[in-house]
Structure 1
Amino acid sequence: MSTPQPATPPQRVVLDGHYVRLEPLSMAHAADLYEASNVPDGDVRFAYLGDYAPKSRADTEAFIQSVLGKADPMLFAVIDKSTGKAGGRQALMRIVPEHGVIEIGSIYWGPAIARTPRATEALYLFARYIFETLGYRRFEWKCNDRNEPSKRAAKRFGFTYEGLFRQHMIAKGENRDTAWFSMLDSEWPERKAAFERWLEPSNFDASGQQKTPLRFD
């Protein structure tokens, strides 16, 4: 094993894929993000996020204003390339370049993004960027242990469960036990190949259903 090297801090760059494009979050995304968040089950979708479901576009603008210019967390809008609209957001956060550790968090994938190839590609674009361009050694996913969909997503995306941090924090006035997951640079080549096989347009039929599931051998 070679001597570990410090990684490079992430930059506000555009990351382009087949289904989605990740853009640094800005006020230009406010209207689309409010539309994607103002859905009947919005409160449920925001239950485990640090912020609350917006009740107005002004709420969305206030959230964006609160994170503009921050290097950590660094927020990106998820642009659905089929519509050109921002259908969600995600962040690079808890960034420690000297140890080569970085986390994905503050994930909100609206109804047009969640449980589609768009969400998978949004994760893939972050992973490719942090491992291949920035040189991180460890990519983390953390969530409230009560958040079963998030834990299932972490495993589906190739993260390894590492354990439970009990009474890790207080979130929205309640105790949060935090489930920790990670992906390592040594695992990325195999993960990358699986992502790219699954994301191929030929892997989906005319109705958008996958032919072969995402699998890490």
Structure 2
Amino acid sequence: MNIKKSVLIIILVLFIDQVSKIYIKTHFVLGDSYVVFDWFKIHFIENSGAAWGAKLNDFLPISEHTAKLILTVFRLFAVAGIGYWLYDSIKKQFSGTLVFAVSLIFAGALGNIIDSVFYGVLFNESIGQVATMFTDEPYGGWFFGKVVDMLYFPMIDTTWPNWMPYLGGKSFSFFDPVFNIADMSISTGVGILLVFNKKAFAHKKEDDAIEENQDAGNE
């Protein structure tokens, strides 16, 4: 896969991701839900932490403000690293499967870092009101934006039977995470690398084998 196709994939993912987030921010109040199907809802939440809403200050003796800044800076370095991985993979003509997967991962990571870096100064609060873009009263600052999530798939939402010990009568739901297009892009890219590992890294393995043969011949 050449660089033009990779850039096209990244632009397409970023466009869909940011359009969906901006629409949700400017049309939904935080916590609002819209039922598409019984098993699929648009549910607006904001995530100021890492995956699954985890925060560094939950594990380290630091303030939430410091934890958010560290996380955003870490994300910037991670995006830079993934970007270099993508560039290097294209330059060395690694397999199209690898380039496609890394393009998805890079696009998703970049999509979420846009939220973290810019949304705090672009929007006002979504609590109890629909947010306004380019507001005079932003809810945060540079590097302190919250990631917008909205895709919710409560495939199972029921109650445990009363006859079950300990669990009887308690609610049970399957697949509670709320995520966004950027998260989907990252997960898809990682999934491709895991499922099609041999195909994705075929070119690199072939090169390594050639180098090993050359080294053996020189001994």
Classify the TM-score, shorter chain: under 0.3
More strand by share: 1
Bigger RCO of structures 1 and 2 (CA < 8 A, at least 6 apart): 2
| TM-score normalised by the chain length of structure 2 | 0.22
| Structure showing the higher helix proportion among its residues | 2
In our comparison, the structure showing a higher alpha carbon Rg is 2
